[in-house]
Amino acid sequence: MFRISLLCVISIIILWWCKERYTRSFYRKTRIKTLHTIPRNNFIMTYNVKRMPFHVKSFYKLQRLVRKYSIVLLQECYCNIFYDEIHHHFPDFYIAKGVMINYRLVHSGLVILSRYPILSHTFVPYEEKELLSADILAEKGFLVVELSFHGKKITIINTHLQSNVIEHKYTIALRQLHQLLTYVKQLTIPFLIGGDFNFSYNVFPSTSSYSLYRSASPTIYIQYDKNGNEMNTSSFWKPHYKPFIFDFFITHNILLSSTHTITTDYSDHVPVVSTISHIL
């Protein structure tokens, strides 16, 4: 009986691994007019949806939440074990997602939805990773797409830096950020970086080259024990939970306006939304 159970578990893991590795990393819009189509706008959202492989949530609620936005950056957006249904729930978006390059159990969980045409896309894995973390099972990195935006080309980057279970310990996340900032130095067109940075916005290195846009409200609340170890997280205030702004935008030659959070309990983070007001 034990051998049969072990064989079943191994088979499921192999099937999952193969499916995640070979799932297409890009989908074109399948149809233009649907019940929920709205006029194109310049709204952008970044949102850690906490849609984990072992706790799969329906896309229906997420669909209602994000359908008014033209560019959506999702983190921890893992697909079902047997079926990747995101392109069926978002038929009016071009969809790019991170792929598996190294040997991991799942891909990065990074997805970019865009009503604007995606001209190219690539995924870059991070060189630095925390070995003693659940994140080691996922392919950490950043997802890069080039969009045709009102006749101009812009680059959109989605990332989810290393999570830390110890309060104010951002060592690996900052090393990953350094790799990301080194990458964007080669870009010759305006770009925007969004995602879950897993450190407070005021830790971001001071620079005159980039603009930082954050909400005034926290994007996550974290409960720590007396030793500073993370215990629980929440999208809303609870007694003894500390507020953090971990989700924000970094831009170069792209101006944003009206950056704020919106209320939802789909995840332990809340979405940060903004408007692309001008391309320099």
pLDDT in tens, 111-122: 999 999 999 999
Q: What is the mean pLDDT of residues 25-39?
A: 54
Three-class SS of residue 25?
Answer: coil
Tens digits of residue pLDDT in 239-274: 999 999 999 999 999 999 999 999 999 999 999 999
Distance from the first to the final alpha carbon of the chain: 66
Identify the CA nearest to 111 among candidates 65, 137, 78, 63: 78
Question: At residue 35, does pLDDT exceed 50?
Answer: no
Question: What residues form DSSP beta bridges with 193?
Answer: 157, 250
Structural domains counted in the chain = 1
Residues of the domain holding 108: 2-279
| 16-20, 69-73, 150-154, 183-187: least confident range | 16-20
What number of CA atoms fall less than 13 Å from residue 202's CA on the CB side? 4
Distance CA 85, CA 103 (A): 23
- Write the CATH number for 49: 3.60.10.10
| 164-168, 215-219, 271-275: least confident range | 164-168
